[in-house]
Amino acid sequence: MAAAATAAGAASAELVIGWCIFGLLLLAILAFCWIYVRKYQSQRESEVVSTITAIFSLAIALITSALLPVDIFLVSYMKNQNGTFKDWANANVSRQIEDTVLYGYYTLYSVILFCVFLWIPFVYFYYEEKDDDDTSKCTQIKTALKYTLGFAVICALLLLIGSLICKLKLFITDISKLFLKGRYAFVPLNVPNNKNSTEWEKVKFLFEELGSSHGLAALSFSISSLTLIGMLAAITYTAYGMSALPLNLIKGTRSAAYERLENTEDIEEVEQHIQSIKSKSKDGRPLPARDKRTLKQLEERLRTLRKRERRLEFIENSCWTKFCGALRPLKIIWGIFFILVALLFVISLFLSNLDKALHSAGINSGFIIFGTNLSNPLNMLLPLLQRVFPLDYILITIIIMYFIFTSMAGIRNIGIWFFWIRLYKIRRGRTRPQALLFLCMILLLIVLHTSYMIYSLAPQYVMYGSQNYLIESNITYDDHKGNSTLSVPKRCDADAPEDQCTVTRTYLFLHKFWFFSAAYYFGNWAFLGVFLIGLIVSCCKGKKSVIEGVEEDDSDLSDDEPSAYSI
């Protein structure tokens, strides 16, 4: 009794440590999301509901990512470095810890599905209808519910497909186990060990397993589908942002005074063209249709140039511009640091993908690796940092935030497009509510994909943390010409015994379906390719304007808004 109470107390202490760090991260995440959303939302068109939706959806994605190091910490802390389980880590306690993390993932992933398929679409379409002055609130709600219903149907289909696929896979696999005595690594099933059990009891147990596991599979399939979309967003925005952000910091922006001089010359040139066209009608003759169209275009161009003139004048005389100029050396240092971090990620991702290409079990297994053959820097660094708590927490947080900032840089440079149609621009202090919801939706999907990206960078760390297990090693003594058996610790990998190494719940969600893992593998190669293309493009591009662009199609801008410019 006393030993059991001591074990339970030790287990509770470990849980408290892990969840306390998670709670602190939760508060930091909420503060970050509030500042981040408020920074980009339009002050002229800000809406309370869209702001709360954007903050909550981005926060829930970051909180889900923060659960990854908690998961890894808990499974790692159940074992000693010599490969033995700690005294308190019996089967019941281990199952309790695993279930706690699993329920956490169930809750957070369910909330993400609610946000993606119900809440965000409803708020988005509600504000789309609000742009029409003639519509009433009742009409807005009805229209928003009508479009949201389509997203709800998609969510239900994903859950149903995931459940059916898992049931079919389990049925085929376990029938093979019963009749062909096959061994499968990806669908573990605890078939009853009772030798006296009949074939009917085994089949009955099979169907009980089918009924108990479909919930995890359905949720995993839905989240994996969203993660696949997040992979496409990461390839489009994050890969480009990883090169654009550091190089923009290093190159800086153009001089406000020089831009203002160029803008003044453009204004004079446009005014001369306008006067030249108007002079044709001084004698009362009407202008040809071609000249009228040209005149209208020139007058629109003149309005844009004068708007730029006002903004450039404000920026040139701003104290903030002088302060940013003083920080120029610091920006260059940050730019060099970011490009080095990007190269570290790219090298680690390349080595990890190359290892999968050379030594994995193939496409039908989702390119799973049995052991590490080609080590990469991050896969070696993270298990070492885990020994000094909470250094691995800090590094994981840095990686996630780095992906957030580089994704944001990519979105700001590219904008939000639907094929060849630009939907929205993302501007500091001037982002419309609909664009803000789109932005947070994209970031939510990218953050979902970040968990798999971290797995790609450090597969052994994400699967087992710093766990070791004992293997029997034969030692030969030359003097006595005899052999002895010695148990030596070995790092846990995919080939380790199931009862000796505990797999993280994150890994179970990521690799429930092999075809998603295969898609992620090929997506990583695409990510590397887009990064190299973005690096070349960013190197060839000149310095950015001191203002983020005031173009003819900037319909969401107004003259009375404060100027926005890059920092």
Q: Write the burial class of residue 349 (CB in 10 Å: 0-12 exposed, 13-18 middle, 19+ buried).
A: buried
Residues 431 and 474 in one domain: no
* Domain boundary residue, one of 450, 483, 501: 501
Give yes or no: residues 356 and 424 share one domain. yes
- Write out the H or E segment, with its range, that includes residue 470: strand 468-477
Cα separation, 377 vs 388, in Å, equals 18
In angstroms, the CA 452 to CA 10 distance is: 31
CA distance 167 to 151: 25
Question: What mean pLDDT is reported for the chain?
Answer: 75
Instruction: Compare 479 and 82 and report the one with higher pLDDT.
Output: 82
Please list the alpha-helical segments (H only) found in 181-288: 199-233, 239-251, 256-278
Contact 270, 434 (CB under 8 A): no
In a domain, 206, yes or no: no
Please list the residues that pair with 489 across neighbouring strands.
Answer: 470
Pair 439, 496 in one domain: no
CA-closest candidate to residue 315, choices 71, 140, 534, 548: 548
Most trustworthy range by pLDDT among 124-133, 301-310, 321-330 = 301-310
Nearest to 225 by CA among 458, 457, 513, 528: 513
Q: Say whether both 218 and 229 belong to one domain.
A: yes
Q: How many domains does the chain have?
A: 2
Q: Kindly report the CA angle at 183 between 500 and 512, in degrees rounded to 5?
A: 75
Tell whether the model's pLDDT for residue 9 goes beyond 60.
Answer: no
CB 39 within 8 A of CB 427: no
Same domain, 422 and 483: no
More confidently predicted of 523 and 220:
523
Residue with tokens 């946000």, as numbered in its chain: 115
- Contact present, 416 and 422 (Cβ < 8 Å): yes
Q: What is the DSSP letter of 236?
A: I
- DSSP assignment, residue 224? H
Contact yes or no for 458/377 (Cβ under 8 A) = no
Q: Could you tell me if 477 and 373 lie in one domain?
A: no
CA distances from 360 to 24, 365, 371, 388, 504 (A): 38, 8, 9, 31, 20
Q: 69 and 129 share a domain?
A: yes
Asked whether residue 434 falls in the same domain as residue 482, the answer is: no
3-state SS assignment for residue 465? coil
Say yes or no: 378 and 487 in one domain: no
Q: Is 406 exposed, middle or buried (0-12, 13-18, 19+ CB in 10 A)?
A: buried
**Domain shared by 373 and 478, yes or no:** no
Of 465, 493, 526, the one marking the end of a domain is 465
- Asked if residue 344 belongs to a domain, the reply is yes
Least confident span in 56-60, 154-158, 175-179: 175-179
Tens-digit pLDDT profile for residues 480-489: 555 666 777 7
Instruction: Answer yes or no: are the C-beta atoms of 83 and 469 closer than 8 Å.
Output: yes
Angle, CA of 282, 287 and 289, to the nearest 5°: 170
Question: Of the candidates 373, 368, 379, which has an alpha carbon nearest to the alpha carbon of residue 344?
Answer: 379
Q: Which domain holds residue 477?
A: 468-501
pLDDT value of position 526: 93
Is the per-residue pLDDT at 165 higher than 80?
no
Same domain membership, residue 134 and residue 228: yes
Break the chain down into helix, strand, coil percent, rounded to 5: 70, 5, 25
Task: Kindly tell me the burial class for residue 493, based on how many C-beta atoms sit within 10 Å of its own C-beta (0-12, 13-18, 19 or more).
Answer: middle
Contacts of 166 (CB under 8 A, 6+ apart): 213, 214, 216, 217, 218, 221, 512
Give the pLDDT score at 530: 92
Same domain, 101 and 48: yes
Q: Which of 368, 328, 308, 347 is nearest to 563 (CA)?
A: 308
Q: Are 336 and 567 in contact (CB under 8 A)?
A: no
Q: Which two tokens stand for residue 63?
A: 């909180």
Residue 255 lies in a domain: no
The structure tokens listed for 230 are: 């997040």
CB neighbourhood size of 336 (10 A): 13
pTM summary value: 0.75
Strand partners, 566: none
With cut-offs at 50, 70 and 90, classify the pLDDT of residue 2. low
Q: What would the two tokens of residue 357 be?
A: 């290409």
Picking from 450, 478, 501, the residue at the C-terminal end of a domain is 501
Provide the residue count of the chain: 567
Residues 335-362: tens digit of each pLDDT:
898 888 888 889 988 988 888 888 777 7
Q: What is the pLDDT at residue 275?
A: 83
Tokens 């304007």 -> residue: 545
Task: Tell me, yes or no, whether 523 lies in a domain.
Answer: no
Three-state DSSP at 422 gives strand
| pLDDT tens-digit series, residues 509-544 | 777 777 888 888 899 999 999 999 988 988 888 777
pLDDT of 131 over the 80 cut: no
On whether residue 536 sits in a domain, the answer given is: no
Residues near 255 by beta carbon (within 8 Å), at least 6 away in sequence: 546
Cα 463 from chain centre: 19
pLDDT at 134: 62
Task: Using alpha carbons, list the distances in angstroms from residue 384 to 154, 394, 465.
Answer: 43, 13, 10
Distances, alpha carbon 337 to alpha carbons 68, 245, 385, 443, in Å: 25, 11, 20, 23
